[in-house]
Amino acid sequence: MFAPTPIWLWKSPTISQQRALCSQLGNVKLKLLYKASIHGFTGAAFHQQCDSQGPTVSVGYNATGHIFGGYTSKPFNQSGQFVQDDRAFLFAFKGEDLLKYQVINSNQAVKMIANSGPYFGESFALVNGSQAVVYSNPGNHYNFNAAEMHGDNLQLTDCEVYHVKGEFKNTDLEKPWRDIVWKSEKRVELMDSIKKYKPITSSVPQARILLIGPVGAGKSSFFNSINSVFRGHVTSQAIAGCSGTSLTTQFRTYSVKAGREGKPLPFMLCDTMGLEESTGAGLDVDDILSILKGHIPDCYQFNPSVPLQVEAHGYRRSPELKDQIHCVVFLIDACKVSIMPTKLEEKLAAVRRKAILMGIPQLILLTKVDEACPTVAEDLSNIYKSRYIKDMVQEVSVRLGVPLSCVVPVKNYYEELELDLKCDILLLNAIIQMLRFADNYFDDISDRYQNLETKE
């Protein structure tokens, strides 16, 4: 059985499709190097991310739902020359079945074209001529049925390239690296614990938790998921979905009720506009400081090009402790950790520095773990047995500079119609950690006041 293959971002991949392809490669681990919808549909972007990276799998998608691509054991470069590779092949899926097209002329298996993406012989290329198109010419190097492979639709909706990393054995751990109880009684216990929680500072009725993350990381979906757990059915109060830009354009504060007619729970989730890589797009870092301090009112409309002004309607000039943020939660898509743009990472680091200066504790939620690891997709209780998820937690810890204990993997509700026990338990455990961190903040505030009183 092959090792769990991480970071599949296909539109609707099935576990059996992933297994079928990876069975051709052995027990491997894949690391995403290039995603055209993020890095750009250009040869320059492809080569910048993928040159000299060793064996790779390249995957293309089109609007008709076809999934196809190629494998080469040789590293890409920009020499303009053909490269010999008798292990290269092209592939496509027909339902759950893998269609494999072996290289015919192995001496010219791959061609290193500077202004294109992955280029297999003179037969097949993805991101051809720095355009979101496929070059398809069955012939001397690879012989395939074009209609079968990509339905004669040469327009790409996305292209991805993965580094194939060696033989990996024992990918699933024998023992969980974190202990967790997957029983309905545990869900009830966690829900009761959250309902009974009270901030240790009497002037604060609800712990305010700020959700921050890149576009598409799942901030709004996380609130919807928590709301679903306590409502007893899947809900969609906050706007969430798939988009290249943030669907959240306002600062929103959401209370979660204990049931449809229940009272608001003792915490509030604050949703923000998504962070984006480029300057002047997405949430402005200066606005985050205003949010942390409690200046920004609910429903404030973000303007990425202009930070919040003191004269803005609803601006709180003298916010109280109950208006401030008590815990910051960063949401990171597990599928995109390895391709997080440097500028986006720098923005996250800037936000962390602001929160640290204010003494606000921080937690990281690693989202979409089911999309990142097939064994977790098969059974969510495998999450703490997955070596890949553990590796991702460690990578996030290092890249963002937080302790491992501050990184919590979760799965949001986004396509389900019914609740799932294991999903609920992961989500509830995440809330418990947030409330514990908020209490740490209140303790720190209390200690500081006591020290000031002692000095006086």
Please report, rounded to a whole number, the percentage of residues in the chain having pLDDT higher than 90: 51
Please return the burial class of 381, using the count of CB atoms within 10 Å of its CB with bins 0-12, 13-18 and 19+. Answer: middle
Tell me: the pLDDT tens digits for 291-338? Answer: 899 888 777 776 655 666 666 666 788 889 999 999 999 999 988 887
Rounded CA gap, 441 and 453, in Å?
19
**Residues 291-307 as b or e (16 or more Cβ within 10 Å = b):** bbebbbbeebebebeee
- The CATH number of domain 184-455 is 3.40.50.170: no
pLDDT in the model for residue 261: 82
Q: Pick 127 or 236 by higher pLDDT.
A: 127
pLDDT digits (tens, 9 = 90+) for 135-169: 999 988 999 999 999 999 999 999 999 888 764 44
Task: Give the pLDDT of residue 423.
Answer: 96
Residue 374 near residue 15, CB atoms below 8 Å: yes
DSSP helix/strand/coil, 108: helix
Per-residue confidence band for 252, with pLDDT thresholds at 50, 70 and 90: confident
Q: Is the dihedral of CA 142, 148, 154, 155 positive or negative?
A: negative
What pLDDT score does 339 carry?
A: 76
What does the block give as tokens for 1?
Answer: 């059985």
Average pLDDT of every residue of the chain: 84
pLDDT at 193 over 50: yes
- Structure confidence by residue, pLDDT tens digits, 166-182: 644 435 667 899 999 99
Of 55-64, 279-288, 370-379, 401-410, the one with minimum mean pLDDT is 279-288
Residue extents of the structural domains in the chain: 15-165, 184-455
Which two tokens mark 251? 């600062």
pLDDT at residue 19 above 80? no
26-44 burial by CB neighbour count: b if 16+ within 10 A, else e? ebbbbbbbbbbebbbbbbe
pLDDT above 70: residue 370? yes
Alpha helices in 36-166 (DSSP H): 36-39, 43-50, 146-150
